[in-house]
Structure 1
Amino acid sequence: MNAHGKQKTSGSLTVKELSEKTWNDFETVLGDNGGARGCWCMHWRLSIAEWTEGKGEGNKKAMSRLARREPAPGVIVYDEDAPVAWCSLGPRSSFPRLERSPLLSSIDDEPVCALACVFVHKGRRGSGLLPAVLEAVCGYAASAGYTTAEGYPVEPADGRRAGADTAMTGIASAFLKAGFSEVARPRKDRPIMRRRLG
């Protein structure tokens, strides 16, 4: 990480923490809908009632408050200077709804960097960018002191394409390409995957 909070990674992708300085880039990646359905990446951080009540502007304000705190709630990934992806990450305890999820509950006591959301800008979807995004995010997580990254991707059945609201946690094939291995499969379309860092 250099003095500007920017980390050079393999290829041309770089990573910056979400902060007031990078907020406009976060908005660019998530678009007018705040990702999907006014989420603004608060899905795993709030109860369903809180999330629904804040849908849209309320969730955006909640994430804006998190962006002003340490540690950063996630990172923006850039291709050259263009913001192309967002990843919400941190210890599992940062994501209370993930912790309470009967589907994605902790499989053991290992401390992990949870990659709770991986969102690619709509103009770059389908371009095969996701494995490189995950690679860049893992580089950041390792530099932040994490030893294991954990993801919760979907594995669409029969080659179907997942929509933005179902693919918010990433696609399993991209995680495999980025060096993750399946450690559990609580449902046939939802593996839990990990990668050792460092």
Structure 2
Amino acid sequence: MAWRATPEEVKAAPRGSDRKPLMKARIADGTTVGLVGYLDGEPVAWVSIAPRETYRDFGAPEAEKGEKIWSLACMYVHRKLRGQGFGTQLIGAATAYAKRRGANVLEAYPVDPKSPSYRFMGFVPAFERLGFEEIGKAGSRRHVMRLEL
């Protein structure tokens, strides 16, 4: 919810836990928010994937004419499953999902593996392996990476 909350919502609900009703309302209204990954019937992963305009400003360049940009804003894989390729599978699933829904560009905002913050946004090498190209930086740590779909 960190990248989805408006400044007004952050003021009204300063703690992340206070924003759960806001996310539930978005889902109830039909706003795309992401995908849940399952292993043996249990939820073990999450990726926030949606049209870029449903998020706050990531600091990425403006869309060019004809671009339908979706953003992969954050991801989570259960700790016991990390390092086994599930993150790459999650990015692949998010890519396919965005493409099926009309995206022609997918953006992500990962960090270097040794970054002390924003680690929930994924790591640059994983996105590079999947064909994403860096087009700039957003802040001092986040890389803006794009994949043409």
Distance in 1 between residues matched to 2:87 and 2:107, nearest whole Å? 15
Matches within 5 A, 1:95-134: 95-96=55-56, 99=57, 101=58, 104-109=59-64, 110-134=67-91
Aligned length: 146
2:2 counterpart of 1:43? yes
- On the 8 A contact 2:60/2:144 being kept in 1, the answer is no
2:111 counterpart of 1:154? yes
- Displacement after TM superposition at 1:80 (Å): 4.6
- State the match for 1:30 in structure 2: none
Deviations 1:140-178 (A, max 9, x none): 11111211111000113xxx3x56x62121111111122
- On the 8 A contact 2:118/2:142 being kept in 1, the answer is no
TM-score (norm 1): 0.63
Aligned with residue 123 of structure 2, among 156, 171, 190: 171
User: Is the partner of 2:120 in helix, strand or coil?
Assistant: coil
Q: Equivalent pairs: percent with the same residue?
A: 30
User: Is the partner of 1:168 in helix, strand or coil?
Assistant: helix
2:91 counterpart of 1:139? no
- State the match for 2:144 in structure 1: 192
Distance in 2 between residues matched to 1:134 and 1:80, nearest whole Å? 19
Aligned with residue 73 of structure 1, among 21, 29, 33: 33
- Displacement after TM superposition at 1:124 (Å): 2.0
- Displacement after TM superposition at 1:48 (Å): 5.5
- On the 8 A contact 1:132/1:178 being kept in 2, the answer is no
- On the 8 A contact 1:154/1:170 being kept in 2, the answer is yes
- Shift of the 46–154 alpha-carbon distance from structure 1 to 2, 3 Å rule, reads same
User: Is the partner of 2:22 in helix, strand or coil?
Assistant: helix
Distance in 2 between residues matched to 1:196 and 1:81, nearest whole Å? 32
**Structure 1, unpaired ranges of 5+:** 1-41
RMSD: 2.4
- Displacement after TM superposition at 1:77 (Å): 2.0
Q: Does 131-140 or 73-82 show the bigger shift?
A: 73-82
- Shift of the 155–95 alpha-carbon distance from structure 1 to 2, 3 Å rule, reads same
Aligned with residue 58 of structure 1, among 6, 9, 18: 18
